[in-house]
Amino acid sequence: MAMDEEKTNRSKSAEREEKILKFWQDNKIFEKSVKKSAPQGEFTFYDGPPFASGTPHYGHLLAGTIKDAVPRFWTMRGFRVSRRWGWDCHGLPVENLVEKELGLKSKKEIENYGVEKFNATARESVLRYADIWREQIPRFGRFVDMTDDYRTMDANYTESVWWAFKKLHDKGLIYEGFKSMHLCPHCGTTLSNFEVAQGYRDINDISVYVKFKLLISNSQRDEKTFLLAWTTTPWTLPGNVALAIGKNIDYVKVQVGEEKLILAKARLAVLKRAYKILEEFKGEKLVGFSYQPLFDYYQGLTLGSEKGQTLKNKENGWKIYAADFVTTENGTGLVHIAPAFGEDDLCLGEKEKLPFVQHVGLDGKFKKEVSDFVGMDVKPKDDPTRADVAVLKFLAAKNLLFAKEKITHSYPHCWRCESPLLNYAASSWFVKVTVLKDKLIAENKKIHWVPKTIGKFRFGNWLAEARDWAISRSRFWGAPLPVWRCEKCGKLEIIGSVENIKKHLKPRNRYFVMRHGEAENNIAKILSTKPENPHHLTEKGKGQVRAAAEILKKEKIDLIYVSPFVRTQESAEIVREALGLKKEQVIIDKRLSEISAHDFNGKPVSEFQLAFSSLAERFSKQAGGENYREIKNRVGKFLYEIDTDNSGKNILVVSHEAPIWLLTCAAAGLSEKLAITTYPSDFNKNDFLQNAEIKSFDFVPLPRDKNFELNLHRPFIDSIEFDCACGGTMRRVPEVFDCWFESGSMPFAEWHYPFENLEIFNPKPGLFQKPKRFPADFIAEGLDQTRGWFYSMLVLGVALFGKAPYKNVIVNGLVLAEDGRKMSKSLKNYPELLPMLEKYGADAIRFYLLSSPAVRAEDARFSEKGVDEVAKKIIGRLDNVLAFYLLYADKNQTNNLQPRLAVRQATTNNILDEWILARLNQLIGEVTTAMENYELDKATRPIADFADDLSTWYLRRSRERIKRIINNELRIKEEAKSALETLRFVLLELAKVMAPFTPFFAEYLYQTLNDANIRMDINDENVKSVHLEEWSKVESKVESQKSKVLEEMVEVRRIVSLALEARAKANIKVRQPLRKLKIKSLKLKTKTEILKLILEEVNVKEIEFDDKIGSEVELDMNITTELKKEGDYRELVRQIQELRKEKGFQPGQLATLATSAQIAATGLLQEFEIDLKRTASVEKINHGVLSAEDFELR
């Protein structure tokens, strides 16, 4: 849902935030924060690219806010922190979504549909929501460059991934292997071990005890003796080729009814029926015995019968072998061996040269040889036990089933489509992680993890058990593996760059382009877009062409292709004559025509230029004919066609400036974004090619899509073939990369390393030069990435560059619904994000998330009540403090207040001012330390406490002092002014402290207090922003000097709290004065200024210290007549103040008060008239003139 659809219930905060966002964007505040002076140097941040398969949710907001707060902090600390957005585009998540959209249910259906069409849909889908992300991410307060973004599907990114793969291969860290892995039958591909680890869940399954009939000899059966084996995967039994036992395990032969069973002695309990032990022996006695297969699908099968080949190693099948992995912890002590479906099984199969029977295909269905179950899914998603039950029924009918049990166990599922996985032996390409394990563990110990336990245990333990990483996938939408294999000799070639491909694909022809000479329309500066326009070459133009022809003589031109326009044909004819070519060697091709922009034909070129805001817009916007994208397509088709039609020729193309530029772009396979970078920067003043200028370009038919952009995806890359030295043809292997390999390549691939941008990214230190943007100072992602991005990036960083690619990591947990379950749209168990944004604003949600346990890898239950509390108790309170400041600052002309530029410059004799400045210094210290340690919850929580102190203690206790700014007495006025200056300084410093966490409100505070850009419509190069300020420094001297003040104020508030609690218990209002408060602690006995606070806050006449009283405080609850009178007077003052508010009187605005006869009769207002006039800004009092109301103000 677009944000402009959610305008209901918009809060004041939300409206204010949108104005501030516009202010940032109009004044390029983010860009300025990156470009401003950075005395501390570079702070490198890697932003893991998200999948944009939907709109942003709370999880994205949490991770994005973490990624925003930390760079903002370090920017204010004097570092330059570049932040570049990226898009994760490849992999199973995208393919699964596209399959659903297209109604495709299997890999085979995708192939039938067409890989090109499937991948085109995938490409379109990954950026379907990009515009919504570009709108919403900044609205959440994120500072990040989403214009110069990178995409993992771009050719440049893929080329860097290829480079990494070749580099690893050259180091001996890549190999192709046949291993037992986990297969997703729906996706038709194997998964890496860390992908598998993400999908375990408990399921109900079936385990079975199966009887294998023992053979006395290879042909003679013992009709009554069976070997008893146990399995939890009955569907693998048709693939059984052996049984395994433990050599030193004790086995028994037992009589059970009419049958004899062999099993481990320690497992007799599984029989659950009467038995008699007939014989005991060690397992080694069983080794070598044969047994009758449960199924005869493969025992007598001849594979490839036309060649007379039988099942390889068939003679070693269906026998008993010893294996170390056999135990008596469960089962029967006899293990069913199916080498195609288990790691231990495959290892034993290779060791003993067992036949390899893979009776299940990559689609997860029984193969045709398994005639009783052919085509059945072995582990269907909707009913995982369906095939198992079918197998059990079959075995029961043959009296080969001994028992079955229902079990619940943890079973791996596909992390994307949720299909149950199959343990499946398959070929894959691997990274030798096991070789790197020690280095990975050592590098991990150098990383600062938040929380530490993730790095030490979860991630550390994962590394300790690391296995080789399967990085290839038998899929479609992904970066293709750059491996070419000769179909004849099997030789491999690893391609590490597009340039490597070009070396194999030699150019068929040589190409030159020439723009026509100067023509009459050039002199007139008009656009000439129709072939029939009689715009001939000028004399100067003819001379230009003749000079160009002289240059071309040495190139031995064979053919000239020319645009049908008058000026181009005249140019081509001059060249033809100069080169001595025949007329038939000049070919007119309308695809080389000038742009079709008939709305501007004959009009000034300047008008055409004004129709477009940028060069990029010319690719999509038409001007009465065609746009640049369409021109590029027609000249691209022209180029591919003539290259196919000719061989060994030197070809000249004579055309117009724009078509020639776009022809060279098509030849290079440039995307529109890259094409623009090849054009002169001021595209309205400079041309790509001058009149009669010649350029040459190289062209080989690299893999390109229909837009003539280099496209390394399938099926385009699969068309690239080249010759092998043996005479065979080298073709690319069909696999694509695991998308985690791609995302792990992000640090270097986003910059197209090592092919360009070495001034931006270079992990290699040079002479007097540090590495650039490697390693990262900071990264952050969710807990699941410990086995995803964190892992893949560490492996590649260590393997390629010898060190960990990041120094500091924040790991966040999940944002759950308030009920503790996952947020679910169907359950409606959480408030939707955008309405929350409208109701509370982004800052409240940001602060709530940053102060939650989610920033230290714990799951957090999202509560709207919690966001509401932040909005009210932090942002709302501070908003009220600011409003109060503005109310009274206006009375003293805000600009006349002197800002306190540093804490050490704040000189004040007021104890409250001293205390709040000390608290501010303490706050800065706490937040700074926490941010330096990347502990965001510890950084945000002190802000909440400070907001409370500032609002409910400092301002409340300073309110009356500040109100006296209107007083004419100089001393009183100066005291009030000092308080206002202190408050202004505190709020300005607080704006800086809050800037990383609540960027909108911090900006609002800053701008309002500076009265500089509050209109939010200023567009000024010198505009100020809190996000361009330096971080506040902790004043250590002040900290030590004022620590006593902080301690004393804590004691004051403790005493006040106890005294007010005693009042409440006695049901005596605070407005009622009491005579005395006794305090047991002697800490504050000599602190006269501080004791005044207690007197006022508790409303007592005197304080007495007595360390012999029983409780901490004692109040004299005896209310005398005088005290009662004063209390009643205070109640009347409260009523009068409320009436002032109702009537809209401004602070300090004098009023006339009229009272009723009943009020006048009390005599209270007469007795306290002087105090009342000062306190309530009353100029005159008319006593006893009202009959109905108690009071009236005029």
Active site residue 740: yes
In 3D space, the residue among 908, 1015, 902, 1028 whose CA is nearest the CA of residue 961 turns out to be 908
Tokens of residue 957, six digits: 């206790």
* Cross-strand bridge partners of residue 860: 815
Tokens of residue 199, six digits: 């999908």
Under a CB-based contact definition with an 8 Å cutoff, are residues 1023 and 872 in contact?
no
Burial of residue 610, with CB atoms counted within 10 A of its CB: 0-12 exposed, 13-18 middle, 19 or more buried? exposed
C-alpha angle with apex 123: 120 to 125, nearest 5 degrees? 110
Cα–Cα distance, 35 to 724 (Å, whole number): 52
Considering the candidates 47, 49, 643, 747, report the single residue annotated as catalytic. 49
Torsion of CA 1010, 1013, 1016, 1020, to 10 degrees: -150
Burial track 972-990 (b if 16+ CB lie within 10 A, e otherwise) = ebebbbbbbbbbbbbbbbb
The Cβ-side half-sphere exposure at 877, using a 13 Å CA radius, reads: 20
39 C-beta neighbours (distance < 10 Å), count: 9
Active site residue 1106: no
8-state DSSP, 873: I
DSSP assignment of 432-450, as one string?
-HHHHHHHHHHHHTTSEEE
Under a CB-based contact definition with an 8 Å cutoff, are residues 49 and 88 in contact?
yes
929 C-beta neighbours (distance < 10 Å), count: 14
Active site residue 789: yes
Active site residue 49: yes
Q: What interhelical angle do 155-170 and 789-801 show, nearest 10?
A: 60
Considering the candidates 88, 345, 738, 843, report the single residue annotated as catalytic. 88
Q: First-to-last CA distance in the chain?
A: 53
DSSP assignment of 1082-1102, as one string?
-TTTT-HHHHHHHHHHHTEEE
Which residues are CB-neighbours of 763 under 8 A, at least 6 positions away? 748, 771, 772, 774, 800, 801
Tokens of residue 1173, six digits: 């006039």
Considering the candidates 276, 525, 582, 825, report the single residue annotated as catalytic. 825
Cα–Cα distance, 284 to 468 (Å, whole number): 34
Which residues are CB-neighbours of 712 under 8 A, at least 6 positions away? 155, 158, 159, 479, 480, 498, 703
C-alpha angle with apex 114: 110 to 116, nearest 5 degrees? 115
Peptide bond into 715 cis (omega under 30): yes
Considering the candidates 12, 398, 503, 822, report the single residue annotated as catalytic. 822
In the chain, the largest separation of any two C-alpha atoms, in whole Å, equals 127
Considering the candidates 163, 230, 235, 789, report the single residue annotated as catalytic. 789
Cα–Cα distance, 1186 to 128 (Å, whole number): 72
In 3D space, the residue among 82, 68, 47 whose CA is nearest the CA of residue 793 turns out to be 47
Q: What is the CA radius of gyration of the chain?
A: 41
Cα–Cα distance, 640 to 592 (Å, whole number): 13
Q: How far is CA 39 from CA 30, 123, 925, 1033, in A?
A: 18, 42, 21, 15
- H or E stretch at 607: helix 605-610
Chain-centre distance for alpha carbon 554: 56
Cα–Cα distance, 852 to 866 (Å, whole number): 10
Q: Give me the residue label for tokens 């049990």.
A: 405
Considering the candidates 136, 544, 785, 1007, report the single residue annotated as catalytic. 785
Collapse the DSSP code of 815 into the 3-class scheme (helix H, G, I; strand E, B; otherwise coil) and give the result. Answer: strand
Active site residue 88: yes
Considering the candidates 318, 740, 751, 915, report the single residue annotated as catalytic. 740
**Residues belonging to the active site:** 49, 88, 740, 785, 789, 822, 825
